[in-house]
A and B are shown apart, each in its own frame.
Chain A
């Protein structure tokens, strides 16, 4: 960390003090600050020259395996598609770049028009009636839907009695997490033998206590559930609301919609399906759509239209309130708008078809590798992603999926195995999106085939990998254990007070 590189007294630039007569005239700079805002001691910042700062960050950038550096199809469910650089150019327009969020809406008509239009697009893509672009991430969008479900039942006097939310083990974990955060008890349905949510258990789970359903379709297996409308009907039959997690929408754009399956709500991740970059923990963007009857509960302000111009509508007494500051993540809303405009309706459908074609081509290649399998719905096609298993290879060689993923990084590609709970043993999930060529998919499959071969011929080589990375393996406990993990220098010093630091060396 840069704090460890600190050398006391070293400076990037030295800012000269103002001349004495200027200081006499206006005083010291800090004098103009109210007393309560002044520091009593200097901030603890690293001290180093500019050249070393540049070298440090350039080196860090070389230690990553980002989307612009590798065939980034191993983070299945994340939809790591290409984010066209021209959309970044649009964001450099000073009208956007210099816009302050507190500016009056009359002076921000352009960006509000983009919000309004993107909302219209999302309504059309989902088939639902009203949209909010305020959530700053996919999970924030799921949270928004849960909050709307809660507000809806409260308004009907059933807020306390409906205390259960149903989800499935192959839906995104954020669904269960958001529902729990809202205070709901979550009932998780395991898959049946075909990989679909178990219908008998769904019928046993629903009751007058059911507030709603949060479900992904296709789930992370890549299998589309043709009985999804029946699932929604069962929820409606007991008075619950159904929310569609469309994080996996990249394979169904322009082909099927939330409305046709009967959903009341849905959400999209603009940083997945609509090409705005994943900000690695920074601001992503979510879009929620709902049926008209849920419109009163949307977060404020709603960007609506008075027939002449876009307006900010705060007059919603039943609103769930705000889910993020201001209106949403403007740069990502603009990127998604530009991406949709550049493709048009036919283009969006072509995206879905290409993503599905790419995935099924890749699946043929992967299933040719001895020891790889795609559990559930054997012999059937998948949509835009596939959850595979190395179970057979692991049983034969004792080499695990995560070890194969790490070894693959020596060949400059990777995948992750973060698919908890591990219903599919030794999992890996690949999602090639529409962005990659056949040659790139072949290259990726060839690398996995080579590593699988190596697991049999030289398992030690795989198990001791990586060899070509800037750091070797880390103890997973450093990531999993709240007592051990550190996400900041301050946390590092607090949790590891006896470790040497840059200041003490």
Chain B
């Protein structure tokens, strides 16, 4: 019998749908709840757990309450609980103490459900002392220690525990620091390295920053988009430097990490929440423009949770424009584009061959894979 440790950061990803770009710290979390955000980390933990435990052969060790116990019970598992008891409003300290308690309990694998902030806490707590695996539930998730979806995390954990060699690799924990508030330029920083259960293409890559020489390529993408824009249509611009270049070319001041809506050359609403976005696009001709995340290949479900499954359903597959410069796509050749909207039906709807706009008159063929 192998032992799997589980930590859920119940606040992970809570800021995503309400347009806060992150969920770290009590200030953002309170604001997210005030804006009506719902915690989604626990539900994503359940997907991973069910996937892992349907294979049998492991027992679960976790922390009481919403840091693991509740997700376990909802997945019909009775977990062993470590002694550490987190506070009612959990913080980074709780993740760190819980991780150490699980290491002391001798688990074979430490699964943690969260985003880049959670991964930072885990690397601070256990360093490279124990095999780990991230279940993605954060807003952007630049780090390479996460599976591509919660279901993939369950499969990786099962394969890892069933393999006596326990194959692992060292993978980066990356988070961003923002200069000058949400409109400033985010600077990705390496916070450490975790020992992660080997998952090959079921583990996501770390996000790659665009090289300075890529600015011209991004400009080409922007000019290609501009030449296809029509009056009367609402354009939803996802986060990132590529879509920001589109806003700039339209003469709008956009948010680099937020989702903006533009119509007829004017910024209709900047940095929208999921609810605001749905109200803007439902029943209105709309095009969603998102950039492929460099190095990872994600198009939905990382950093743009505002563009939710129901928004995508309302907009329709044919009104989604994927954009990326050729260099970014070249680095992704051999890997499919990824989605993780949290809604299997929408993931399946979007899966398959797609066109990615790379510049004036230039399109690359690619495909979106949904994980099942």
Contacts and interface: CB of A to CB of B under 8 A. Distances in A.
A binds B: yes
Interface of A: 169, 176, 179-180, 183-191, 193, 198, 200-202, 204-205, 420-423, 425, 480
Given A185-B362, A186-B363, 16 more contacts: A169-B330, A169-B333, A180-B360, A180-B362, A187-B363, A187-B364, A188-B365, A190-B329, A193-B334, A201-B366, A204-B365, A420-B326, A421-B326, A421-B330, A423-B333, A480-B213
Contacts of B185: none
A184 B360 CA distance: 10
A191 B335 CA distance: 11
Given A169-B333, A190-B333, A422-B330, A201 B367 contact: yes
Contact of A184 (B326, B358, B361): B361
A423 B326 CA distance: 9
B355 interface: yes
A425 B365 CA distance: 20
Contacts of B353: 200-201, 204-205
A341 B303 CA distance: 64
22 contacts: A169-B330, A179-B361, A180-B360, A183-B361, A185-B362, A186-B361, A186-B362, A188-B358, A188-B363, A188-B364, A188-B365, A190-B334, A190-B365, A191-B333, A191-B334, A200-B353, A201-B353, A201-B365, A202-B365, A205-B355, A420-B326, A425-B331
Interface residues of B, number: 20
B327 interface: yes
B361 A187 contact: no
Contacts of B367: 200-201
Interface in B120-153: none
B366 A421 contact: no
B292 to A, nearest CB: 13
A183 B353 CA distance: 24
B330 A187 contact: no
Contacts of B363: 185-188
Contacts of A184: 361
Contact of B366 (A176, A190, A202): A190
Contact of A188 (B327, B334, B360, B362): B362
Contacts of B361: 179-180, 183-186
B172 to A, nearest CB: 14
A423 B330 contact: yes
A422 B355 CA distance: 19
A376 to B, nearest CB: 9
Interface of B: 213, 326-327, 329-331, 333-334, 352-353, 355, 358, 360-367
A422 B366 CA distance: 16
Contacts of A185: 361-363
Contacts of B360: 180
A480 B211 CA distance: 15
A97 B221 CA distance: 49
Contact of B365 (A187, A420, A422, A480): A187
Contact of A421 (B327, B352, B355, B365): B327
B365 A198 contact: yes
Contacts of B355: 187, 205
A185 B362 CA distance: 6
Nearest to A164: B363
A230 B331 CA distance: 28
Contacts of A180: 360-362
Nearest to A205: B365
B337 to A, nearest CB: 11
A186 B360 CA distance: 9
A113 B125 CA distance: 83
B234 to A, nearest CB: 24
Nearest to A166: B365
Nearest to A165: B361
A176 B213 CA distance: 22
Nearest to B330: A421
Contacts of A179: 361
B231 to A, nearest CB: 22
Contacts of B330: 169, 421-423
Contacts of A422: 327, 330-331
B364 A190 contact: yes
A238 B171 CA distance: 46
A402 to B, nearest CB: 13
B283 to A, nearest CB: 29
A190 B365 CA distance: 7
Contacts of A421: 326-327, 329-330
Contacts of A186: 361-363
Contacts of B352: 204
Contacts of B358: 188
Q: Which of B213, B330, B352 has the most CB of A within 10 A?
A: B330
Contacts of A189: 365
A185 B355 CA distance: 12
A264 B295 CA distance: 39
A182 to B, nearest CB: 10
A6 B353 CA distance: 61
Nearest to B355: A187
Contacts of B327: 421-422
A341 to B, nearest CB: 42
A198 B333 CA distance: 11
Contacts of A202: 365
Nearest to A188: B364
Contacts of A183: 361
A204 B353 CA distance: 6
A186 B356 CA distance: 11
A188 B365 CA distance: 6
A422 B329 CA distance: 10
B364 A176 contact: no
Contact of A176 (B333, B334, B362): B362
Nearest to B365: A201
A105 to B, nearest CB: 40
A492 to B, nearest CB: 22
Nearest to A480: B213
Q: 8 tightest A-B contacts by CB?
A: A204-B353, A421-B330, A201-B365, A421-B326, A180-B361, A423-B330, A188-B364, A190-B333
